[in-house]
Amino acid sequence: MSISDFYKQLEEVTKAGKPPRVIESGQGAYLTIGGVKKLNFCSSHYLGLAEHPRVKKAAQDAIEKYGLGTGYRTLAGTHILHLELEKAIAKFKGTEAAVVFSSAYMANAAAIQTIISKEDIVISDELNHASIIDAVRLSGVKNKFIYKHGDAKDLEIQLKEAEKIVRQPKTDGNKPLILIVTDGVFSMDGDLAPLPEIVKLAEKYQALTMVDDAHGEGVMGRGGRGVVDHFGLVGKIDIEIGSLSKAFSVIGGFIAGKKTLIDYYNLKARQRLFSIALTIPDTAASLEAINILLESDELVKKLWDNTNYLRGEFKKLGFDTGHPESPITPVMLPSEDIAKEFSAKLFEEDVFATPIVFPMVPKGKARIRVIPSASHSRKDLDFGIKAFAKVAKELKVL
pLDDT attached to residue 33:
96
Q: Measured between alpha carbons, how far is 343 from 340 in angstroms, rounded to an integer?
A: 5
State yes or no: pLDDT of 359 exceeds 90.
Answer: no
Residues 275/71, Cβ–Cβ less than 8 Å: no
Residues 189/323, Cβ–Cβ less than 8 Å: yes
Q: Measured between alpha carbons, how far is 219 from 174 in angstroms, rounded to an integer?
A: 40
Of the residues 45, 52, 93, 215, only one is catalytic, namely: 215
pLDDT digits (tens, 9 = 90+) for 162-204: 999 999 999 999 999 999 999 999 998 999 999 999 999 999 9
CATH class of the domain whose range is 18-46+297-395: alpha beta
Kind of pairing between the strands at 208-212 and 239-243: parallel
Q: Which long-range contacts (CB under 8 A, 24 or more apart) does 35-38 make?
A: 36/350, 37/350, 38/347, 38/350, 38/351, 38/352
Residues 123/147, Cβ–Cβ less than 8 Å: yes
Q: Measured between alpha carbons, how far is 301 from 223 in angstroms, rounded to an integer?
A: 8
Q: Which helix (H) or strand (E) holds 340?
A: helix 336-348
Banded model confidence at residue 363, pLDDT cuts 50, 70, 90: confident
For the chain, give every residue range classified as CATH 3.40.640.10. Answer: 53-295
* pLDDT average, residue stretch 305-325: 96
For the chain, give every residue range classified as CATH 3.90.1150.10. Answer: 18-46+297-395
Q: Measured between alpha carbons, how far is 341 from 376 in angstroms, rounded to an integer?
A: 25
Q: Which helix (H) or strand (E) holds 318?
A: none
Residues 208/202, Cβ–Cβ less than 8 Å: yes
> Which bin fits 320, alpha (ψ -120 to 50), beta or left (φ > 0)?
beta
Of the residues 45, 246, 365, 376, only one is catalytic, namely: 246
State yes or no: pLDDT of 268 exceeds 80.
Answer: yes
* Residue of 28, 13, 37, 95 whose CA lies nearest to 374: 28
pLDDT digits (tens, 9 = 90+) for 18-74: 888 999 999 999 999 999 999 999 999 999 999 999 999 999 999 999 999 899 898
* pLDDT average, residue stretch 237-249: 97
Helices (H), 29-98: 53-66, 80-93
Q: What angle do CA 118, 164, 115 make, to 5 degrees?
A: 30
pLDDT attached to residue 362:
86
Q: Tell me, yes or no, if 82 is annotated catalytic.
A: no
Task: Determine what percent of the chain is predicted with pLDDT higher than 70.
Answer: 100
Tell me the torsion sign for CA atoms 137, 138, 144, 148: negative
Kind of pairing between the strands at 253-257 and 329-332: unpaired
pLDDT attached to residue 220:
97
* pLDDT average, residue stretch 69-97: 95
Residues 351/387, Cβ–Cβ less than 8 Å: yes
Q: Measured between alpha carbons, how far is 129 from 184 in angstroms, rounded to an integer?
A: 10
Banded model confidence at residue 16, pLDDT cuts 50, 70, 90: confident
State yes or no: pLDDT of 398 exceeds 90.
Answer: no
Helix (H, G, I), strand (E, B) or coil at 252: coil
Q: Which of 12-16, 225-229, 296-300 has the weakest average pLDDT?
A: 12-16
Residues 371/218, Cβ–Cβ less than 8 Å: no
State yes or no: pLDDT of 117 exceeds 90.
Answer: yes
Q: Measured between alpha carbons, how far is 92 from 216 in angstroms, rounded to an integer?
A: 13
Residues 218/45, Cβ–Cβ less than 8 Å: no
* pLDDT average, residue stretch 280-295: 98
Q: Tell me, yes or no, if 149 is annotated catalytic.
A: no
State yes or no: pLDDT of 17 exceeds 90.
Answer: no
Q: Tell me, yes or no, if 236 is annotated catalytic.
A: no
State yes or no: pLDDT of 260 exceeds 90.
Answer: yes
Of the residues 102, 139, 187, 249, only one is catalytic, namely: 187
* pLDDT average, residue stretch 215-226: 96
Domain covering 53-295, topology? Aspartate Aminotransferase; domain 2 (3.40.640)
Helix (H, G, I), strand (E, B) or coil at 257: strand
Average pLDDT over the chain, rounded to an integer: 96
Banded model confidence at residue 15, pLDDT cuts 50, 70, 90: confident
State yes or no: pLDDT of 141 exceeds 90.
Answer: yes
* pLDDT average, residue stretch 279-296: 98
Convert 87-111 to b/e letters by CB count within 10 Å (16 or more is b). Answer: ebbbebbbbebbbbbbbbbbbbbbb
Q: Examine residue 330 and say whether the peptide bond preceding it is cis (omega within 30 degrees of 0).
A: no
